Amino acid sequence: MEEHNRQQPLLAPISDHNNERQYYSNLEDSVIKRTWVETKKICKIAGPSSFSRLSLYSLAVITQSFAGHLSDTDLAAISFATTVITSITFGFLLGMASALETLCGQAYGAKQFHMLGIYLQRSWVVLLIGSVLLLPLFIFTTPILKLTGQPDAVAELAGTVAMWLIPMHMSFVFQFSLVRFLQCQLKTAVIGWVSGLALVIHLFANWFFVYKYEIGVVGAAIVLDVSWWVSVLGLFVYVVFGGCRESWNGLSMQAFSGLWEFFKLSAASSVMLALESFYYRVLVIVAGSLGNNEIDIDALSICITSYGWEIMIPYGFLAATGVRVANELGAGNAKGAIFATKISLLTSIIIGLLFCALILAFPDKLAMIFTSNNIVISMVDELSVLLALTVLFSCIQPVFTGVALGCGWQSHVAIVNLGSYYVVGLPLGVVLERFFGFGIKGLWAGMLGGTVVQTLILAIITIRCDWNKQAKEAYSRVVNREISS
């Protein structure tokens, strides 16, 4: 019986595993039925994950939309502070917290529930150190932006806003860790409810304080801080006060042991996610440093913010693909992993085409969410085709990244991201903008080329993967880790 239990995937009950193996081995099952069952499994994971990411990202989007109606300078300042500075720290800390997906997943599968709380506290320690080391980005935002050639007025105001966003930055330490701690126990409903509550509170607070009483861009930043901490406190209360009785046993000194091992585990994922999350945000900095005017920067900021809004849904499928692939490989089911990848990819492509159609059909309506300036709205309309193509490829690419996470290829993807984005895409964009006179469109087109290269490389790696070998290795790792537990 004990040997049989070790064959189960970490995130699936034993009965589900037996049903799945019988399901995939039954050749009489129709393709339509298999597709429907797998789609439901993926959406069950991707739904709460996408909603939570979308809700939390919308906090910054709402702040930018209200600030944009104050003035163009306010919009540019809040855009730099939220889509550039905080996106760097967001990516690094999110990557560091991803170590919990491995450690808590293993502990939960091995029924070592008490270890989940210790890993959570260990994550808090490591991420708190990381967040402190990243504080200079907020403190020196103004000189950094001036050094990159941004207008003085925008750089000064962005620096002030960034200082007031430090509380939000510190909330990442607890937000990211708590979310992964709960996801590993399949407690996804509370994550969605708390994120939705924070979104409603933030929307009302912005309407009341920023729009009605015009407290300004600094006041908007403070409201953003409060909303993030509402989400953190909601999850913390749930965990500590009875929501996780088996996995949370209070504070422990064991949290201070094994910190170096935790850090090493999270490093590759941190670099991978940071390189990816910062890539299109760097468009705003490069555009300003190359002498583009404030109107171009505002239009570009609106497009990048809209892109970041939409990408939260594919990131949900990234998480779902990673879980399903890891689940099937851990069970030694190579065919199941392949089928899960195909269904996730098909679903993501359909969603990408839908968003493309919406962007191309209503580009002016999209811009009006953030600004009343007709010139900026017109510029966004001109960039809508590039935005639509970026969205399409950004719906495909996360699926392959999810496969890589499920197989444990984080370090490989980090190298691919570095080469595709910053060796190919960014230099190509600068060349098209500067030497061929294509302006903002050329810069964006070059960076889109980097995304295409990255997607193709990951697709080739996935196609050439020896799935049977991956399944054997994954099963062996699961067994060895359970024994060591």
Which three-class secondary structure string do you get for 434-466? HCCCCHHHHHHHHHHHHHHHHHHHHHHHHHCCC
- Whether residue 110 contacts residue 484, with contact meaning beta carbons closer than 8 Å, is answered with no
How much is the mean pLDDT over the chain? Answer: 78
Which pLDDT score, from 0 to 100, does residue 27 have?
Answer: 43
Mean pLDDT of 435-448: 81
Which pLDDT score, from 0 to 100, does residue 105 have?
Answer: 61
Q: Rounded distance, CA 474 to CA 342, Å?
A: 20
**Residue among 413, 441, 420, 418 nearest 429 (CA):** 441
Most confident of 49-53, 188-192, 456-460: 456-460
Under the banding of pLDDT at 50, 70 and 90, the label for residue 111 is: low
Which pLDDT score, from 0 to 100, does residue 175 have?
Answer: 93
Which pLDDT score, from 0 to 100, does residue 228 have?
Answer: 92
Which pLDDT score, from 0 to 100, does residue 11 have?
Answer: 40
In this predicted structure, the answer to whether residue 484 has a pLDDT above a threshold of 50 is: no
Which pLDDT score, from 0 to 100, does residue 238 have?
Answer: 94
- Say how many C-beta atoms besides its own lie within 10 A of residue 147's C-beta: 11
Mean pLDDT of 298-316: 76
Q: What is the pLDDT of residues 127-163, one digit of tens each?
A: 999 899 999 988 888 888 888 777 777 788 888 888 8
Tokens representing residue 54 in the block? 């979308």
Which pLDDT score, from 0 to 100, does residue 14 have?
Answer: 39
Q: What is the pLDDT of residues 248-305, one digit of tens each?
A: 887 878 778 777 777 877 777 777 777 776 776 676 667 666 555 566 777 777 777 7
Q: What is the pLDDT of residues 226-236, one digit of tens each?
A: 999 999 999 99
Q: Rounded distance, CA 145 to CA 149, Å?
A: 6
Percent of the chain with pLDDT over 90: 10
Placement of tokens 């994950």 in the chain: 49
Give a three-class secondary structure readout of the chain.
CHHHHCCCCCCCCHHHHHHHHHHHHCCCCCHHHHHHHHHHHHHHHHHHHHHHHHHHHHHHHHHHHHHHCCCHHHHHHHHHHHHHHHHHHHHHHHHHHCHHHHHHHHHHHCCCCHHHHHHHHHHHHHHHHHHHHCCHHHHCHHHHHHHCCCCHHHHHHHHHHHHHCHHHHHHHHHHHHHHHHHHCCCCCHHHHHHHHHHHHHHHHHHHHHHHHCCCHHHHHHHHHHHHHHHHHHHHHHHHHHHHCCCCCCCCCHHHHCCHHHHHHHHHHHHHHHHHHHHHCCHHHHHHHHCCCCHHHHHHHHHHHHHHHHHHHHHHHHHHHHHHHHHHHHHCCCHHHHHHHHHHHHHHHHHHHHHHHHHHHHCHHHHHHCCCCCHHHHHHHHHHHHHHHHHHHHHHHHHHHHHHHHHHCCHHHHHHHHHHHHHHHHHHHHHHHHHCCCCHHHHHHHHHHHHHHHHHHHHHHHHHCCCHHHHHHHHHHHHHHHHHHC
Mean pLDDT of 36-63: 81
Which pLDDT score, from 0 to 100, does residue 107 have?
Answer: 64
Q: What is the pLDDT of residues 338-395, one digit of tens each?
A: 888 888 888 888 988 988 888 888 777 777 776 667 777 787 777 888 888 888 888 8
> For residue 269, what are the contacts with CB-CB under 8 A and spacing of at least 6?
95, 96, 98, 99, 405, 410
The domains of the chain are located at: 47-270, 280-485
Q: Rounded distance, CA 457 to CA 454, Å?
A: 5
Please compute Rg for the chain using Cα positions. 22
In this predicted structure, the answer to whether residue 5 has a pLDDT above a threshold of 50 is: no
Under the banding of pLDDT at 50, 70 and 90, the label for residue 58 is: confident
